[in-house]
Structure 1
Amino acid sequence: MKKGIISSLLVISALAVFGQEHESSEVPKIYRETPTIVNDLVHTKLDARFDYDKSWLYGKAWITLKPHFYTTDSLVLDAKGMEIKNVSLSNDGKLSPLKYSYDGYLLNIRLNKPYKGGETYTVYIDYTAKPNELKVKGSAAITDAKGLYFINPKGEEKNKPTQIWTQGETEATSVWCPTIDKPGQKTTQEILMTVPAKYVTLSNGKLASQKKNNDGTRTDHWKMEMPHSPYLFFMGVGDYAVVKDSYKGKEVSYYVEKEFEPVARRIFGNTPEMMAFFGKITGVEYPWVKYSQIVGRDYVSGAMENTTATLHQESAQQDARELVDENRWEDVIAHELFHHWFGDYVTAESWSNLTLNESFADYSETLWNEYKYGKDAGDATSYSAMQGYLSNPDNAQKHLARFYYNDKEDMFDAVSYQKGGRILHMLRNIVGDSAFFKALNNYLTTNKFKAAEAHQLRLAFEEVTGRDLNWFFNQWYFGAGHPKLNIEYKYDDSKGVVNVFVQQTQEGDAFRLPIAVDVYESGKKNRYKVELNSKADTFSFPFKKHPDLVNVDAEKILLCEKIDNKSLEQYVYQYKNAGNYLDRREAIEFCAKKQDDAAAQALLLQALKDPYEGLRTFTLGKLDMKKSTVKTAAEKAIEDLAKADPKSTVRAKAIDLLGSYANATYADIFKTGIRDSSYAVAGASLESLAEVNNEAAVEAVKQLSAQPAKGQLLGAITSVAAKNGLEEAFPTIAATFGSMPLTQTKFEMLQPLAMLISKMKSPEKVKQGIDLITDFRESIPTAYRAQTDGYINNMVLQGIQNAKQKENTPASLELVEYIKVKRTTPEKKAF
Structure 2
Amino acid sequence: MPIGRRIVSFPCLLFAALLCHESLGIACAADPLPPRVVIKHHDLFVQIIPDQHALVAKDRLTIEVPQQKAPIRFSLAPTLQIDRIALVQGSTGTESPMHDVPFEMERGSAPESAQEVRISSEVVGTGLVTLDVQYHGIINDPPRDPRHLRFVTPSETAGHIGSEGVYVSSESSWYPDVPESLSTYALLVAVPTGWTVVTQGKVGESRACPAGLCVSDPMVVTEWAVMQPSEALTLVANTFVATFRDWTAKTGQKIRLSTYLFPDDANLAEEYLDATARYLDAYIPLLGPYPFEKFAVVENFFASGLGMPSFTLLGSGIIKRHYVQPYALGHEIVHSWIGNAVFNHAERGNWVEGLTTYLANYYWHELMGDQAQAQDQRRLMVQGYNLHVPPERDYPVARFTQKIDEHDNAIGYQKAAMLFHLLRQEVGEETFWRALKHLVAQYRGRHAEWRHLERVFAEESGRDLRWFFAQWIEQDGAPMLSLSEAVARSVSGAPAQKFQLEATIIQSNKPFRFPLQLRVRMEGDREQM
In 2 relative to 1, CA 448–116 (structure 1 residues): closer, same or farther, beyond 3 Å?
farther
Structure with the bigger RCO (C-alpha within 8 Å, sep 6+) is 2
Find the aligned partners of 2:199 and 2:486 in 1 and give their Cα distance: 64
Q: How does 1:285-364 map to 2 (within 5 A)?
A: 285-299=289-303, 301=304, 303-318=305-320, 329-355=325-351, 357-364=352-359
Find the aligned partners of 1:250 and 1:72 in 2 and give their Cα distance: 45
Q: Which amino acid aligns with 2:357?
A: D
Find the aligned partners of 2:289 and 2:183 in 1 and give their Cα distance: 21
Partner residue, 2:281: 276
In 2 relative to 1, CA 512–207 (structure 1 residues): closer, same or farther, beyond 3 Å?
same
1:131 matched to 2:139: yes
Q: Which amino acid aligns with 1:493?
A: R
Find the aligned partners of 1:501 and 1:472 in 2 and give their Cα distance: 25
Q: Which amino acid aligns with 1:291?
A: F
Partner residue, 1:243: 243
Partner residue, 1:194: 190
Partner residue, 1:475: 471
Q: Deviations over 1:279-305 (max 9, x none)?
A: 1012x1101111111010213x3x111
In 2 relative to 1, CA 409–130 (structure 1 residues): closer, same or farther, beyond 3 Å?
farther
Task: For structure 1, list consecutive stretches of 5 or more residues without a partner in the other structure.
Answer: 1-30, 154-161, 518-551, 555-565, 584-831
Q: Which amino acid aligns with 2:131?
A: V
Q: Whose strand proportion is higher, 1 or 2?
A: 2
Q: How does 1:471-620 map to 2 (within 5 A)?
A: 471-491=467-487, 493=489, 498-505=501-508, 507=509, 509-515=510-516, 517=517, 552=518, 570=521, 576-578=526-528
Percent identical: 19
In 2 relative to 1, CA 78–462 (structure 1 residues): closer, same or farther, beyond 3 Å?
same
Find the aligned partners of 1:110 and 1:167 in 2 and give their Cα distance: 24
Partner residue, 1:109: 118
Partner residue, 2:229: 227
Q: Whose helix proportion is higher, 1 or 2?
A: 1
More off after superposition, 244-253 vs 442-451: 244-253
In 2 relative to 1, CA 145–185 (structure 1 residues): closer, same or farther, beyond 3 Å?
farther
- Structure 2 contact 159–168 (Cα < 8 Å) conserved: yes
Q: Which amino acid aligns with 1:308?
A: S
Q: Which amino acid aligns with 1:107?
A: E
1:63 to 58, 61, 64: 61
1:461 matched to 2:433: no
1:391 match: secondary structure: helix
In 2 relative to 1, CA 422–492 (structure 1 residues): closer, same or farther, beyond 3 Å?
closer
Q: Which amino acid aligns with 2:107?
A: D
- Structure 1 contact 274–368 (Cα < 8 Å) conserved: no
1:317 match: secondary structure: helix
Q: Which amino acid aligns with 1:148?
A: G
Task: For structure 2, list consecutive stretches of 5 or more residues without a partner in the other structure.
Answer: 1-24, 109-113, 212-216, 493-499
Partner residue, 1:415: 411
1:367 match: secondary structure: helix
TM-score by length of 2: 0.79
In 2 relative to 1, CA 163–83 (structure 1 residues): closer, same or farther, beyond 3 Å?
same
Find the aligned partners of 1:309 and 1:100 in 2 and give their Cα distance: 36
Find the aligned partners of 1:387 and 1:378 in 2 and give their Cα distance: 14
- Structure 1 contact 41–187 (Cα < 8 Å) conserved: yes
1:46 to 44, 47, 50: 44
Q: Which amino acid aligns with 2:279?
A: M
Q: Deviations over 1:408-466 (max 9, x none)?
A: 96896332212111111111122222111101112112212100110110111011111
In 2 relative to 1, CA 571–229 (structure 1 residues): closer, same or farther, beyond 3 Å?
farther
Count how many residue pairs are aligned between Structure 1 and Structure 2.
465
Q: Deviations over 1:774-802 (max 9, x none)?
A: xxxxxxxxxxxxxxxxxxxxxxxxxxxxx
In 2 relative to 1, CA 103–514 (structure 1 residues): closer, same or farther, beyond 3 Å?
same
1:149 matched to 2:160: yes
1:398 match: secondary structure: coil
Root-mean-square deviation (CA), in Å? 3.3
Deviation at 1:167, TM superposition (A): 4.1
Find the aligned partners of 1:394 and 1:149 in 2 and give their Cα distance: 37
In 2 relative to 1, CA 222–328 (structure 1 residues): closer, same or farther, beyond 3 Å?
closer
In 2 relative to 1, CA 145–88 (structure 1 residues): closer, same or farther, beyond 3 Å?
farther
In 2 relative to 1, CA 501–71 (structure 1 residues): closer, same or farther, beyond 3 Å?
farther
Q: How does 1:704-719 map to 2 (within 5 A)?
A: none
Q: Which amino acid aligns with 2:290?
A: Y
Find the aligned partners of 1:289 and 1:38 in 2 and give their Cα distance: 30
2:409 match: secondary structure: coil
2:72 to 63, 70, 75: 75
- Structure 1 contact 45–190 (Cα < 8 Å) conserved: yes
1:164 matched to 2:163: no
Partner residue, 1:763: none
1:252 matched to 2:257: yes
Whichever of the two has the greater Rg, that structure is 1
Q: Which amino acid aligns with 1:45?
A: D
Find the aligned partners of 1:137 and 1:315 in 2 and give their Cα distance: 13
Partner residue, 1:718: none
Deviation at 1:145, TM superposition (A): 5.7
Q: Which amino acid aligns with 2:345?
A: E
- Structure 2 contact 182–230 (Cα < 8 Å) conserved: yes
